[in-house]
Amino acid sequence: MVTVKDVAKAAGVSIATVSRVVRDEANVKKDTKDLVLKVIRELNYQPNALARQMRQQSTKTVIVIVPDIGNSFFHEILFGIQDTATKYGYQILIANMNNRPDVETYYFNALLQKQVDGVISLSANIAKSLMDKVANAYPIVVACQYLDNSDMPNVTIDNISAAKKIVEYLIEQGHTHIAHLTSHPTALLYRDRFNGYISALAEHGLPIDLELVCYDEPSIEGGYRQMNNLLELGKPISAVFAAGDTMAIGALKALKNAGLKVPDDFSVVGFDDIEFSSIFEPALTTIRQPKFLIGQTAFEKLFKLMNGAPLDSLKDILDYELVIRESSGVNRHK
């Protein structure tokens, strides 16, 4: 391995001078600099990043904890993070949790051991106490998900109002019996979407029937299962709001399987706007989260944190958008 020493010897200068040239410091004579650069090229010298990081106690690397890399919802967020990170000369380490909560803790150790300068977590499953403990001492931003009563820096949308908006859209289409497919109520995210659903119904004087609220895994299978359960109830439902697009697609499959036409017989709306949702047939009506922007904003926030700069705001609430496509329409069975 070629080191500064080798370059210094070959160029007839000190290692300090070589180091200065490598880091492009100002106070080096032009001639010296050219000579050293020439030698660096000749010897094909590559600075050892490990030694540099060790010396500076910084890796210019940020770890992103992704609950499930197989879920395309996270891809655009990753793009946003990566885009901004690259701009600032940072690398990102993608840690895939595979939806196993214990892995999250594991990755926080990377932070404690100085392997990374900061963390962006797209998951909030980890025990709140640990989260707060770590956030106290290290730069960390939570995006998409969030915790109750936590003062962690956070980037997200207003899930309550977004859920309310899409349910109100269904109500405007004449639907009065709207079911709700959702997931683990331990996640504040789902509780918020549930609250938005309830608010919309209540404010429009519609009856609330908790039998129409079904819980399952946030997956196509989960949505399929619960849609079938709903159909078996034999109640006069004409629309369903799924708290995630994957569940919505599962619901669409169950409806098709039952011989029901969407949106003629039934309206289905989701949440997130994953890639799949616009390609599936019928294309899904949903809430679009500003995924790229969430990623960008999360990194910007983390960057400030890592550099000890003050945050404009602890929590950023970004705008969402109602995207109306083919899976929803007016209630024709009134």
Partner DNA sequence: TTGTATGCGTTATCAA
Partner DNA sequence: TTGATAACGCATACAA
**Residues found near DNA in the complex (CB under 7 A):** 1, 3-5, 12-17, 19-20, 22-23, 26-29, 31-33, 45-48, 51-52, 54-57
Please list, in sequence order, all residues whose beta carbon lies within 8 angstroms of the beta carbon of residue 295, skipping any fewer than 6 positions away: 76, 77, 78, 79, 80, 81, 82, 83, 84, 143
- Identified binder of a copy of itself from the candidate list 78, 144, 214, 227, rule CB under 8 A: 78
Q: How far apart are CA 61 and CA 66, in angstroms?
A: 16
Instruction: Choose among a copy of itself, DNA, none what residue 330 binds, the Cβ cut-off being 5 to 8 Å by kind.
Output: none
Instruction: Give min distance, CB of 32 to DNA, in A.
Output: 3
Instruction: Give min distance, CB of 27 to a copy of itself, in A.
Output: 25
Q: Determine the angle formed by the axes of helices 15-22 and 30-43, rounding to 10 degrees.
A: 90
72 touches a copy of itself by CB under 8 A: yes
Stretch in the footprint of a copy of itself (CB under 8 A) among 18-26, 54-62, 186-194, 290-298: 54-62
Instruction: Give min distance, CB of 44 to a copy of itself, in A.
Output: 9
The pair of three-digit structure tokens given for residue 151, joined into one six-digit string: 């003062």
Instruction: Choose among a copy of itself, DNA, none what residue 94 binds, the Cβ cut-off being 5 to 8 Å by kind.
Output: a copy of itself
48 touches a copy of itself by CB under 8 A: yes
Q: Which is nearer to a copy of itself, 59 or 328 (CB)?
A: 59
91 touches a copy of itself by CB under 8 A: yes
Instruction: Give min distance, CB of 114 to DNA, in A.
Output: 8
220 touches a copy of itself by CB under 8 A: yes
- CA 87 vs CA 58, 59, 76, 158, 276: distances in Å: 17, 16, 17, 28, 29
SS3 of the chain: the string is CCCHHHHHHHHCCCHHHHHHHHCCCCCCCHHHHHHHHHHHHHHCCCCCHHHHHHHHCCCCEEEEEECCCCCCHHHHHHHHHHHHHHHCCCEEEEEECCCCHHHHHHHHHHHHCCCCCEEEECCCCCCHHHHHHHHHHCCEEEECCCCCCCCCCEEEECHHHHHHHHHHHHHHCCCCCEEEEECCCCCHHHHHHHHHHHHHHHHCCCCCCHHHEEECCCCHHHHHHHHHHHHHHCCCCCEEEECCHHHHHHHHHHHHHCCCCCCCCCEEECCECCHHHHHCCCCCEEEECCHHHHHHHHHHHHHHHHCCCCCCCCEEEECCEEECCCCCCCCCCC
Q: Which is nearer to DNA, 46 or 86 (CB)?
A: 46
Instruction: Choose among a copy of itself, DNA, none what residue 37 binds, the Cβ cut-off being 5 to 8 Å by kind.
Output: none
Instruction: Choose among a copy of itself, DNA, none what residue 29 binds, the Cβ cut-off being 5 to 8 Å by kind.
Output: DNA
Instruction: Give min distance, CB of 31 to DNA, in A.
Output: 7
Instruction: Choose among DNA, a copy of itself, none what residue 136 binds, the Cβ cut-off being 5 to 8 Å by kind.
Output: none
Stretch in the footprint of a copy of itself (CB under 8 A) among 16-24, 46-54, 183-191, 199-207: 46-54
54 touches a copy of itself by CB under 8 A: yes
User: Could you say which residues in the range 266-295 bind a copy of itself, by CB under 8 A?
Assistant: 275-276, 279-281
Instruction: Give min distance, CB of 334 to a copy of itself, in A.
Output: 29
By the criterion CB under 8 A, which residues form the site for a copy of itself? Answer: 1, 46-51, 53-54, 57, 59, 69-70, 72, 75-76, 78-79, 82, 91, 93-94, 96, 98, 109-110, 112-115, 220, 249, 253, 256, 275-276, 279-281
